[in-house]
């Protein structure tokens, strides 16, 4: 399976996503510069974390206009798998490929820490190997991860299974105390209606080796590989 890892000038988790796919999982990965116009050769495109163009205005607000984002839109429309992590999630929201917006964390400070996520929907190509209701330990590192959509949209998304991950306690309870940033409904990750575009604030690529504290993020990548294999057969 071929992964493309987008590189905006201010991306800084591009190397981590590349490392996870290539060195840990042993699959093909290729960096894609932000001026690229074609993503057709990939099975999955990852928008990594970082500060795409400095993000001084608002995370992702400028990145949505970059040449490669037009290609991401076409790739997604053709059914390609798109995973946006952290800044990648912010960009996908800004670009309209996912509903909602990411505001400043409610305590106005950056949070870098291990959190727990509950898998709310394991029928997506990103979570089919994760197990519904399973609790994953995956780190966050963001200042703007406070997810918001209006209540009606949230209800519709819930009904359609678009809420993929929620912040929870280590034993799987979705409580306010487990919410690190004020996200509505403890939402940590969402997908589009079609289910081929996922955005999440936590960093699964930082949780693929026990040496670094958790390998729980592997199930996302295994899901993608399974989905890719399915699509290819």
- Residue 93 is among the residues annotated as catalytic for this protein: no
Token pair for 67 = 């040449």
- Note whether 219 binds other proteins by CB under 8 A: no
Binding residues for other proteins, rule CB under 8 A, total 31
What phi and psi values does residue 88 have, to the nearest 5 degrees?
-65, -40
Q: Which of 116, 97, 105 is nearest to 202 (CA)?
A: 116
Beta pairing, strands 44-47 & 2-7: parallel
- Residue 205 is among the residues annotated as catalytic for this protein: yes
Q: How far apart are CA 49 and CA 222, in angstroms?
A: 20
Least distance in angstroms from the C-beta of 124 to other proteins = 24
- Note whether 112 binds other proteins by CB under 8 A: yes
Least distance in angstroms from the C-beta of 165 to other proteins = 18
Token pair for 219 = 């199930």
Least distance in angstroms from the C-beta of 108 to other proteins = 9
x-or-dash string of contact with other proteins, 142-181, rule CB under 8 A: -x--------------------------------------
Q: How far is CA 212 from CA 44, 96, 135, 137, 204, in A?
A: 25, 34, 18, 12, 12
Taking the least distance from each CB to other proteins, the nearer of 54 and 230 is 54
- Residue 111 is among the residues annotated as catalytic for this protein: no
- Note whether 199 binds other proteins by CB under 8 A: no
């Amino acid at each position: 399976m071929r992964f493309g890892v987008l590189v905006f000038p201010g991306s800084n988790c591009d190397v981590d996503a590349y490392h996870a796919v290539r060195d840990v999982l042993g699959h093909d990965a290729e960096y894609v510069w932000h001026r690229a116009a074609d993503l057709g050769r990939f099975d999955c495109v990852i928008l990594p974390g970082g500060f795409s163009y400095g993000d001084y205005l608002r995370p992702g607000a400028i990145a949505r206009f970059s040449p490669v984002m037009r290609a991401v839109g076409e790739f997604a429309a053709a059914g390609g798998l798109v995973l946006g992590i952290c800044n990648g999630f912010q960009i996908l929201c800004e670009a309209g490929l996912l509903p909602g917006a990411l505001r400043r964390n409610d305590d106005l400070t950056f949070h870098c820490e291990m959190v727990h996520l509950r898998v709310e929907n394991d029928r997506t190509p990103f979570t089919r190997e994760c197990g519904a209701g399973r609790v994953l330990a995956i780190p966050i590192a963001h200042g703007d991860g406070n997810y918001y959509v209006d209540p009606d949209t949230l209800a519709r998304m819930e009904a359609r299974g678009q809420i993929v991950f929620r912040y929870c306690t280590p034993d799987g309870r979705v409580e306010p105390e487990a919410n690190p940033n004020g996200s509505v409904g403890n939402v940590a990750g969402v997908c589009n209606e079609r289910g081929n575009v996922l955005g999440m604030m936590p960093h699964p690529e930082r949780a693929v080796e026990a040496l670094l504290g958790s390998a729980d993020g592997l199930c996302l990548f295994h899901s993608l590989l399974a989905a890719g294999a399915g699509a290819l057969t």
